[in-house]
Amino acid sequence: MADHSAPAASSDDASTDGSDLLPDELRTYMRVVAATGAIEQQLRAHVKKTLGVSHDEFLVLCLLADQPGTTLRMTRIAELLGRPKTRLTYQVGCLHHMGLVTRESVCGDRRGIALTLTDKGRRLLAENTPALTQVLVSLIGPAQCAALTDLLAQASHPADEGGHAQDPAT
């Protein structure tokens, strides 16, 4: 009968404790994911308590507030959040029912829906974001937040072959 046990590690093999298994870049990515999850967990409870909306609904409001004209197509919101459009439909329905966003068909595209932040949605964010900002500052700190903003801006707009930042709209 053949022996199917694993071969013994030789002195040439990588460390068996796993410390050499991940390159630094992947380890950094995993730390970003873990930190994002921890911050999201802390913020989730505060968002529900102060704004009365779910975390995903809050993210939609923030995306709209950060756009010129406070309008985005639902497909673009789904892309930015990394969620399927079908999942987003429920959150948008809740926000629309609360009067925080409006939904309109996109001219020339019978399936396209554009969302716009309402005055009520703007007021809700304006009145409550200072408290949410304090939560973030307590978790990250203002200097680290500024540094992360710069780093993440670079990562979200990768450079082309010539080293120039690409326009995310293209």
**How do the domains of the chain map onto residue ranges?**
54-153
Above 60 in pLDDT, residue 149?
Answer: yes
Which pLDDT tens digit goes with each residue over 82-91?
888 888 999 9
Architecture (CATH level 2) of domain 54-153: Orthogonal Bundle (1.10)
pLDDT at 169: 44
Q: What is the mean pLDDT of the chain?
A: 82
pLDDT at 151: 83
Above 60 in pLDDT, residue 110?
Answer: yes
Which pLDDT tens digit goes with each residue over 21-57?
889 989 988 998 998 888 888 899 889 988 999 999 9
Confidence of residue 150 (pLDDT cuts 50, 70, 90): confident
Looking at beta carbons, which pairs linking 100-109 to residues 24 or more positions away fall under 8 Å? 100/53, 100/57, 100/61, 100/124, 101/60, 101/61, 101/64, 106/73
Q: What is the pTM of this model?
A: 0.74
Integer Cα distance of 150 and 60 in angstroms: 22
pLDDT at 162: 53
pLDDT at 107: 75
pLDDT at 126: 94
